[in-house]
Amino acid sequence: MNDDPVALGQALRHWRDRTRPQDLGLPIGGVRRAPGLRREELAQLAGLSVDYVTRLERGRATSPSPQVLAALSRALRLTGTEHDHLHLLAGQAPAGPGQISAHVPPSVQRLLDQLRTTPLSVHDAAWNLISWNPLWAALVGDPSPWRGREANIAWRHFTDRPTRVTHTPEQQLRFETALVSDLRSSAARYPKDKPLRSLITDLRSASIRFDDVWASHTVGFHTTDSKTVHHPDVGPVTVDCDTLTIPGNDLRIAVLSAPAGTATAAQFDLLSAMGTKAVTAFAVERV
């Protein structure tokens, strides 16, 4: 399997040209020489620099990371087959049987795009953060600087990384039990996924809490629960949290919500009005 920077660039330009900005909720004002996305728009959607996207399209950038490929795939709304082809052009094997995929199908992405007024984040079966919407970043904190394990929710929680979120002891027990149970189920479904096996091994060494729950074989499920986010500008924000699973893709969508007319709903409106950094995908190469 060999990378082909020229072919990769040609494919990216083709996919960019066919992607209509209005289908992604982008304004279409101004003079456009082509009906598709501008290079600057693709860069914004993928969380990359315009210079890096330019070098990719011109075949001057080699070996883009899996995170960058996943971000480009989501921004361009690639199908599963196109997603795999993108990886092959970049010299990387797509996820095979027994391995976790970070691909977000276009239909799922369209649904997520329509939920702009609700903070949400998307995770793969190992609870690696894949993408998020601007309101989630405004509420919880911008995760774009996170690298590697820092972008894994289980690792962040059980190794006590800084967070704005707090739980009561009862909420924390339910959350931890569900998270560990989820990882155990994923390990059974994806026996060939080495990063997942490594994550579990390292978590058992790094966290006594994780190891205790893992060894107990306690089973739990992600149900509606509440948590408090301590925002530096709007104060404590108490939210309901639901975890939705996408059948067939094994994605987890964490949705933070509040009933209409409540104080939390007003805080969401305030955060939205304050403006958020336009971050729509997890992409770590800002070069």
0.85 cut: is pTM over it? no
Residues 176 and 157: beta-carbon distance below 8 Å? yes
As a whole number of Å, the CA-based R_g of the chain is 19
Do both 36 and 154 map to the same domain? no
Do both 155 and 213 map to the same domain? yes
Residue 278's pLDDT is what? Answer: 38
Closest by Cα among 50, 63, 62 to 16: 50
Residue 220's pLDDT is what? Answer: 81
pLDDT in tens, 15-65: 999 988 877 777 776 677 767 898 999 998 888 899 999 999 998 887 888
Do both 186 and 248 map to the same domain? yes
The stretch 180-199 carries a mean pLDDT of: 94
| Local confidence band at 182 (pLDDT 50, 70, 90 cut-offs) | very high
Asked if residue 287 has pLDDT above 50, the reply is: no
Q: What is the pLDDT of the chain when averaged over all its residues?
A: 87
Do both 143 and 265 map to the same domain? yes
Residues 6+ apart with CB under 8 A from 159: 203, 206, 207
Residue 221's pLDDT is what? Answer: 82
Higher pLDDT: 251 or 3? It is 251
Do both 206 and 71 map to the same domain? no
Look up the domain containing 61 and give its range. 5-89
Asked if residue 172 has pLDDT above 90, the reply is: yes
Residue 280, in any domain of the structure: no
Asked if residue 282 has pLDDT above 50, the reply is: no
Least confident interval from 93-102, 150-159, 190-199, 232-241: 93-102
